[in-house]
Amino acid sequence: MTKPKADALGPSGPGALAWWDGEVVQDMPDLAEELTGTVLQIDQFTEWLRGPLAVYRVTAAARASMAQKAAVTRWLESSAQHVDAALADGRLRRLPEWYAKPAVHFAALKAGLDWRAILASAEPQAVAAVLLAAAAALRRERVNRGRPPAVARDVLLHAVVEALKAAGLMPSEARHRADAILIKCRVPTPEESVARAARRGRGAISV
């Protein structure tokens, strides 16, 4: 049974997603080849790896979510700036489901209004006011940024290297196998020195 995490993916409030290791990493690769000749139990190591791998994937997904939030915020502001065109081309009847739709509906409710009624009225000033209020709310909303994906990858790499060294592998062999394990898990591995990336991961943990 996987341990629940306290972290959330994306912003707090509507749309926030609490996550568990088993939900983020449902399927693990077969690491028999990568662990051959070691004293490690493949099943136990694979189950341990699920946790660090989940942290890495959530970090990458959170960064993607941040980029989407920024794009939606700009979309709302642009629609407000060109509200006549936005009303004419129908884009406001098809709000992006993630971020825009809940933000706009909440902004309307906060003003004591109903978004569908405002949209039906086609009053440019009222529509623009709600769009700008929604965009402002998204800009104020705190997002759990976490580590950049490259740093999260280095932390994951360091954790795997240390686990392999603890099983008796020499550092160079541990780094070589850790690199192969990350590849098997579809994690982008360092284009530069694996040793340098693992050291960065160790440094990131100590910060």
Report whether pLDDT(132) > 90: yes
Place of tokens 């004591």: 112
Check whether residue 155 and residue 57 sit in a common domain: yes
**110 within some domain:** yes
- Domain of residue 110 covers 66-140
**What's the mean pLDDT when you consider all of the chain?**
78
Check whether residue 126 and residue 72 sit in a common domain: yes
pTM of the entire predicted model: 0.52
- The answer to whether 118 touches 95, Cβ cutoff 8 Å, is no
Report whether pLDDT(25) > 80: no
Measure the N-to-C terminal CA separation of the chain; round to a whole number of Å. Answer: 30
Instruction: Choose one of 125, 140, 155: the last residue of a domain.
Output: 140
Instruction: Compute the radius of gyration of the chain from its Cα atoms.
Output: 23
- Show the DSSP H helices in 82-148 as ranges: 83-89, 100-110, 115-121, 124-140
pLDDT at 166: 92
Residue 15 binned pLDDT confidence (cut-offs 50, 70, 90): very low
Report whether pLDDT(96) > 70: yes
Residue 5 binned pLDDT confidence (cut-offs 50, 70, 90): very low
**23 within some domain:** no
Q: How many domains in the chain?
A: 2
Q: For the stretch 165-178, what's the b/e string if a residue is b when 16 or more beta carbons lie within 10 angstroms of its beta carbon? A: eeeebeeeebbbbb
pLDDT at 26: 61
Check whether residue 150 and residue 173 sit in a common domain: yes
Residue 6 binned pLDDT confidence (cut-offs 50, 70, 90): very low
Q: Residues 103-117: what's their mean pLDDT?
A: 89
Check whether residue 46 and residue 107 sit in a common domain: no
For residue range 33-81, list pLDDT tens digits in order: 999 999 999 989 988 988 888 878 777 666 666 777 788 889 999 999 9
Residue 126 and residue 118: Cα distance in Å, rounded?
7
**2 within some domain:** no
Check whether residue 186 and residue 86 sit in a common domain: no
Check whether residue 128 and residue 152 sit in a common domain: no
Check whether residue 78 and residue 133 sit in a common domain: yes
Q: How far is CA 114 from CA 88, 94, 127, 130, 135, in A?
A: 20, 16, 11, 10, 17
Instruction: Choose one of 86, 105, 140: the last residue of a domain.
Output: 140
Instruction: Choose one of 95, 113, 140: the last residue of a domain.
Output: 140
Check whether residue 57 and residue 150 sit in a common domain: yes
Question: Residue type at 161?
Answer: V
pLDDT at 20: 46
